[in-house]
C-alpha cells in the first residue's frame, strides 16, 4: 500500500503541472478586479468586454474562416494521399515526405511558404494563411488516416468488387465509411492546430487580416488583461465541446 501511494504522487503532480495553469486562467476570468492577483469577487463583466472588442471579434472570425477552410482541404487531400500511399507505394520514402510537414519546425515551414508566395507574387491575406495551414494539416490527417487504413479488412473491398461495384463505388460505400473515425479525428486535430497556430500565420498573414493568435500576441506584449483570460476560457470551452462531439461522432460512425 505504501509503495502504491508513493507511485501515485508523480501521477498527481503531473496532472497538477498540466491543468493547474488552466484552472487559474478560468478562475481569474471571473475575478471582479483588473489586478490578476487580487480577488474581489465573482463577475461576468470581462466577458462583456471581450464580446464588445471588435478587434478580438474580427480576429476570431478570421481564425474560424482559416481553420474551417484549411481543415476541409486537409481532410480531402490528406485522405486521398493516405489511400494512395497505402495502396500504390512501397517503402517508406514517399510516406516520410508526406509526413514531413508535421515534423518540420514551424519557423522553417513559415519562411519556406512565405518564399513560395513571394516567388509567385501571391498577395498575403486570409487565403495565404488558409493555404499555409492546409499545407501542414494535410500531414496530420494523412498520418491518422494511414493508421486507420492499416486496421481495415481488405476482404470487404474485394467482396465489393466481386459483387460488381467499381473502384469509385467501392471507395465511397465501403472504404470511406470505415475511414470516417480517422477522418473525424484528423479534422479535429487540424482545426485545433489551426486555431492556435501563430508562427506560420505571422509570416503569411497581412496586417489588415490578423488571426486571433496574432491579435492576442499584440495585446499581451504589455501584460495579460482580464479579457484575454476570458477569451482563453471561451476557447477552452469550445475545445472541450469539440473533443466530446468528435468522440461521440466517432462512436456513432464505428457503430454503423
Q: Say how many residues make up the chain.
A: 256
pLDDT at 200 over 60: yes
pLDDT at 181 over 90: no
pLDDT at 224 over 80: no
CA distances from 56 to 17, 89, 194 (A): 29, 46, 17
**Grid cell of 15 as nine digits:** 496532472
Nearest 5°: phi and psi at 226? Answer: -60, -35
**Residue 36 DSSP symbol:** T
Find, among 117, 86, 98, the residue nearest to 206 by Cα: 117
Give the dihedral sign, CA 54/60/62/65: negative
pLDDT digits (tens, 9 = 90+) for 64-82: 999 999 999 999 999 999 9
Asked if residues 78 and 137 have their Cβ atoms less than 8 Å apart, the reply is yes
Find, among 224, 242, 252, 214, the residue nearest to 68 by Cα: 242
pLDDT digits (tens, 9 = 90+) for 153-180: 777 777 877 777 777 788 878 888 888 8
**What is the spatial distance between Cα 51 and Cα 64, in angstroms, rounded to a whole number?**
16
pLDDT at 225 over 80: no
Q: Which residue's C-alpha cell is 495502396? A: 87
pLDDT at 99 over 90: no
Nearest 5°: phi and psi at 134? Answer: -65, -35
Amino acid at each position: 500500500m505504501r509503495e502504491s501511494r508513493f507511485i501515485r504522487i508523480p501521477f498527481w503532480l503531473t496532472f497538477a503541472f498540466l491543468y493547474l495553469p488552466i484552472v487559474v486562467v478560468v478562475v481569474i476570468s471571473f475575478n471582479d478586479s483588473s489586478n490578476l492577483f487580487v480577488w474581489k469577487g465573482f463577475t461576468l463583466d470581462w466577458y462583456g468586454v471581450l464580446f464588445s472588442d471588435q478587434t478580438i471579434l474580427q480576429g476570431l472570425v478570421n481564425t474560424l474562416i482559416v481553420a474551417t477552410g484549411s481543415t476541409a482541404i486537409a481532410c480531402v487531400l490528406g485522405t486521398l494521399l493516405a489511400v494512395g500511399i497505402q495502396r500504390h507505394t512501397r517503402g517508406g520514402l514517399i510516406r516520410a515526405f508526406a509526413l514531413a510537414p508535421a515534423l518540420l519546425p514551424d519557423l522553417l515551414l513559415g519562411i519556406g511558404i512565405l518564399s513560395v508566395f513571394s516567388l509567385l507574387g501571391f498577395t498575403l491575406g486570409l487565403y495565404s494563411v488558409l493555404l499555409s495551414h492546409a499545407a501542414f494539416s494535410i500531414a496530420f490527417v494523412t498520418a491518422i488516416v494511414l493508421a486507420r487504413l492499416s486496421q481495415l479488412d481488405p476482404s470487404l473491398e474485394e467482396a465489393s468488387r466481386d459483387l460488381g461495384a467499381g473502384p469509385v463505388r467501392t471507395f465511397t460505400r465501403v472504404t470511406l465509411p470505415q475511414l470516417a473515425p480517422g477522418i473525424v479525428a484528423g479534422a479535429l486535430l487540424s482545426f485545433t492546430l489551426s486555431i492556435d497556430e501563430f508562427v506560420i500565420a505571422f509570416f503569411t498573414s497581412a496586417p489588415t487580416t490578423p488571426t486571433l493568435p496574432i491579435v492576442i500576441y499584440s495585446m499581451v506584449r504589455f501584460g495579460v488583461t482580464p479579457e484575454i483570460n476570458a477569451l482563453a476560457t471561451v476557447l477552452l470551452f469550445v475545445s472541450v465541446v469539440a473533443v466530446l462531439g468528435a468522440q461521440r461522432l466517432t462512436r456513432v460512425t464505428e457503430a454503423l
